[in-house]
């Protein structure tokens, strides 16, 4: 076992206060020996127990989600109760006379929209703006209210 490994082992066994004192003393010694900044120039190899997770689709996570609505299934749970497909681009992926929902991730706010030929508009919620195609027919902060409205719409 090398001296460095021994010191690292001792460091791991120390309390936070002891680690702070040790770092202060080592920094003072490094400055005295003109070694300050050496750590900036040397790229240390870091040991990682597992590689960091990567996003599957290569896109950044949007602050909202959009799903087309083709029906309602009360046997499912959560957003899966709403039958339909996930929509990437509202203006391209929503056909005429169809319904879709927009859900905001951060504020848990939901909008039920209808593509009725009125065109494009921009809706903003807590600083997040979303292009919608058609008109918004229902808006709520409660997901159960949204499900009730969709169930009523498709029954």
pLDDT tens column, 35-54 = 766 655 555 555 556 666 66
Rg of the chain taking only CA atoms, in angstroms: 28
Residues 12 and 87 in one domain: no
Q: What is the pLDDT of residue 45?
A: 53
Residues 82 and 31 in one domain: no
The one-digit pLDDT tens for each residue of the chain (155 residues) are 788 888 888 888 888 888 888 888 888 888 888 876 665 555 555 555 666 666 666 555 788 999 999 999 989 898 899 999 999 888 888 888 999 999 998 888 999 999 988 878 888 888 888 888 889 999 999 999 999 999 999 88
Residues 31 and 78 in one domain: no
* Cα(27)–Cα(12) distance, integer angstroms: 18
- Write the CB contacts of 105 (distance below 8 Å, at least 6 apart in sequence): 61, 62, 63, 64, 65
Residues 30 and 82 in one domain: no
Residue 69, strand partner residues: 99
Range of the domain at 84: 64-153
Residues 19 and 84 in one domain: no
What does residue 128 show for φ and ψ, rounded to 5 degrees? -105, 120
- The count of domains in the chain is 2
Q: What is the pLDDT of residue 20?
A: 86
53 lies in a domain?
no
Q: What is the pLDDT of residue 102?
A: 92
Q: Taking the model in full, what pTM does it have?
A: 0.59
Residue 84's alpha-carbon distances to 36, 76, 80, 126, in angstroms, are 60, 13, 9, 26
What does residue 37 show for φ and ψ, rounded to 5 degrees? 90, -5
56 lies in a domain?
no
49 lies in a domain?
no
């Amino acid at each position: 076992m090398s001296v460095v490994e021994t010191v690292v082992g001792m460091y791991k066994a120390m309390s936070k206060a002891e680690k702070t004192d040790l770092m202060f003393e080592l920094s003072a010694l490094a400055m005295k020996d003109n070694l300050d900044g050496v750590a900036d120039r040397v790229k240390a190899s870091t040991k990682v127990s597992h590689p960091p997770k990567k996003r599957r689709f290569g896109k950044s996570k949007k602050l909202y989600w959009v799903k087309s609505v083709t029906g309602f299934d009360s046997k499912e749970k959560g957003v899966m109760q709403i039958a339909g497909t996930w929509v990437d681009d509202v203006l391209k992926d929503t056909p005429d006379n169809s319904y879709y929902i927009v859900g905001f991730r951060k504020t848990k706010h939901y909008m039920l929209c209808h593509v009725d030929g009125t065109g494009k508009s921009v809706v903003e919620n807590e600083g997040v703006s979303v292009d919608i195609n058609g008109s918004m027919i229902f808006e709520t902060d409660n997901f159960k209210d949204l499900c009730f409205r969709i169930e009523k719409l498709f029954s």
